[in-house]
């Protein structure tokens, strides 16, 4: 039986598919020295990457090199990122380059720069798409680990500054294998609880510990989030791609809790200022109206000095107008007092000052009935001057 004969095109196509489907030969970093550098009129760049024992022909196509920050030159030692492929028409093996970094750059730093440039070129970091945070959020989603100190810090800060907001925790691993898709899924899940914004938070750590917040699933999830996102990853000196794509970057998780909600004390002071302004404005308007009435009365007296009956009518109408203005002022003052009382009555501190306490479960929700609590369940009692931990021993 004669041997099977294959067309050249079939062999080259098979070799190309073999190369491009080999995970060890795709999306890899390779180090070497640039030689035989050529810049084509089309904008493509071709060069040979070599070391003392081997050489690899590289193709850096225009659509990929257009954002290249570092200029390429003969003899330059670099690390390149890309995939091996085969040009079927000539049977040439080449390395298709996506990104180039100077040699000596750490692998994490090089990958960070590559991803940053890629996402920036797609417009994921554009300032014009950043959204403002709501002034008075009612529900705040938090994506972080449920076992770390970050969650408790956010609860403490937000509970002190703006206790009217409800926190919704979506727990997730924040480092290690599989953390990136878990964080992305947590972001997509927490928005289903009708939150006004999302805090993505993690405490400090090494670059390796924080790496999940540089990976594509997290970046895409933050970019696609329908509500504003605050990134609070690591310490102030740490930088992640999540910081760049988020609407707001907070230096620490505690700072994020301060950014997303106002300080109730400051709000109270602002309300007091508004009340004073209303009072001053109303008094000034009444005074101006009274002066205007008196001026009109004097004008009529001078114009018609002999008509006593007309003077009397003007006087009576002036008195009526004065009474109406005073009545308006008194009504405005009553409205101000009513609003002030409503503000005081709405404050949760007013209820706590009367001896009441909020029973907060471990998931951050407030217990509204005895039936919702189970024996042995641990809760937190929030009183007017602080909180205390407690355990449900039994139901009466």
**260-277 mean pLDDT:** 76
Q: Which of 216, 183, 45, 27 is nearest to 116 (CA)?
A: 216
Torsion angle of the four alpha carbons 114, 116, 118, 121, in this order, in degrees rounded to the nearest 10: -140
Q: Which of 201, 87, 197 is nearest to 152 (CA)?
A: 201
Q: How confident is residue 370, by pLDDT bands cut at 50, 70 and 90?
A: confident
Start-to-end CA span in the chain (Å):
92
Reply yes or no on whether the pLDDT at 343 is more than 70: no
- Percent of the chain having pLDDT more than 90? 32
The model's pLDDT over 132-160, given as tens digits with 9 standing for 90+, comes to 999 899 999 999 999 888 999 999 999 88
- The pLDDT assigned to 78 comes to 86
- The pLDDT assigned to 347 comes to 64
Q: How confident is residue 287, by pLDDT bands cut at 50, 70 and 90?
A: confident
Q: How confident is residue 349, by pLDDT bands cut at 50, 70 and 90?
A: low
How far, in Å, CA of 298 to CA of 309, rounded?
A: 15
How far, in Å, CA of 352 to CA of 360, rounded?
A: 14
The pTM of the full predicted model, rounded to 2 decimals, is 0.52
**82-91 mean pLDDT:** 87
**87-110 mean pLDDT:** 81
How far, in Å, CA of 140 to CA of 202, rounded?
A: 16
How far, in Å, CA of 200 to CA of 219, rounded?
A: 11
Q: How far is CA 68 from CA 63, 99, 326, 382, in A?
A: 10, 7, 74, 56
* Residue 276 falls in which region: left (phi positive, over 0), alpha (psi -120 to 50) or beta: alpha
Q: How confident is residue 304, by pLDDT bands cut at 50, 70 and 90?
A: low
Q: What is the CATH number of domain 8-121?
A: 2.40.50.140
Q: Which residue has the higher pLDDT, 104 or 19?
A: 19
- The pLDDT assigned to 138 comes to 92
How far, in Å, CA of 77 to CA of 55, rounded?
A: 13
Task: Identify the weakest region by mean pLDDT among 255-264, 324-333, 351-360.
Answer: 351-360
**317-329 mean pLDDT:** 82
- The pLDDT assigned to 345 comes to 63
**315-334 mean pLDDT:** 81
Q: Which of 166, 236, 174 is nearest to 197 (CA)?
A: 166
The model's pLDDT over 13-56, given as tens digits with 9 standing for 90+, comes to 888 888 888 877 888 888 888 888 999 999 999 999 988 888 89
The model's pLDDT over 177-232, given as tens digits with 9 standing for 90+, comes to 889 999 999 999 999 999 999 999 998 888 888 999 999 999 999 999 999 999 99
Its CATH class, for the domain covering 137-260, is alpha beta
Polymer length of the chain: 396
- The pLDDT assigned to 192 comes to 95
Reply yes or no on whether the pLDDT at 169 is more than 70: yes
| CB contact burial 222-242 (16+ within 10 A = b; e otherwise) | bbebebbbbbbbbeeebbbbb
């Amino acid at each position: 039986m004669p041997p099977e004969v294959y067309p050249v095109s079939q062999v080259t196509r098979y070799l190309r598919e073999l190369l491009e489907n080999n995970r060890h030969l795709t999306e890899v970093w390779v180090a070497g020295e640039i030689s035989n550098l050529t810049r084509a009129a089309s904008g493509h760049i071709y060069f040979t990457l070599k070391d003392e024992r081997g050489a690899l022909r590289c193709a850096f196509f225009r659509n990929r090199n257009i954002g290249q920050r570092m200029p390429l030159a003969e003899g330059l030692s670099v690390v390149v990122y890309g995939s091996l492929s085969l040009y079927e028409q000539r049977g040439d093996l080449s390395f298709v380059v996506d990104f180039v970094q100077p040699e000596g750059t750490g692998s994490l730093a090089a990958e960070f720069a590559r991803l940053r440039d890629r996402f920036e070129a797609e417009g994921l970091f554009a300032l014009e798409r950043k959204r403002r945070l709501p002034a008075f959020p009612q529900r705040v989603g938090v994506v972080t680990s449920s076992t770390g100190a970050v969650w408790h810090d956010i609860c403490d800060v937000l509970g002190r500054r703006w206790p009217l907001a409800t926190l919704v925790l979506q727990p997730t691993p924040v480092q290690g294998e599989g953390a990136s898709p878990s964080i992305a899924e947590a972001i997509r899940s927490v928005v289903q609880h009708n939150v006004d914004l999302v805090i993505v938070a993690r405490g400090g750590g090494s670059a390796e510990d924080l790496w999940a917040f540089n990976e594509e699933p997290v970046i895409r999830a933050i970019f696609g989030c329908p509500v504003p996102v605050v990134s609070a990853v690591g310490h102030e000196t740490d930088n992640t791609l999540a910081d760049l794509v988020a609407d707001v970057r907070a230096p620490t998780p505690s700072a994020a809790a301060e950014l997303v909600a106002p300080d109730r004390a400051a709000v109270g002071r602002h309300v007091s200022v508004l009340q004073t302004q209303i009072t001053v404005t109303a008094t000034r308007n009444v005074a101006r109206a009274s002066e205007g009435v008196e001026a009109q009365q004097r004008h009529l007296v001078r114009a018609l000095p002999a008509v006593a009956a007309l003077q009397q009518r003007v006087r009576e109408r002036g008195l009526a107008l004065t009474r109406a203005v005073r009545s308006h002022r008194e009504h405005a003052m009553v409205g101000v007092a009513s609003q002030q009382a409503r503000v005081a009555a709405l404050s949760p501190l007013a209820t706590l000052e009367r001896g009441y306490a909020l029973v907060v479960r471990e998931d951050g929700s407030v217990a509204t009935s005895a039936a919702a609590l189970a024996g042995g369940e641990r809760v937190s009692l929030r009183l007017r001057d602080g909180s205390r931990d407690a355990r449900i021993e039994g139901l009466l």
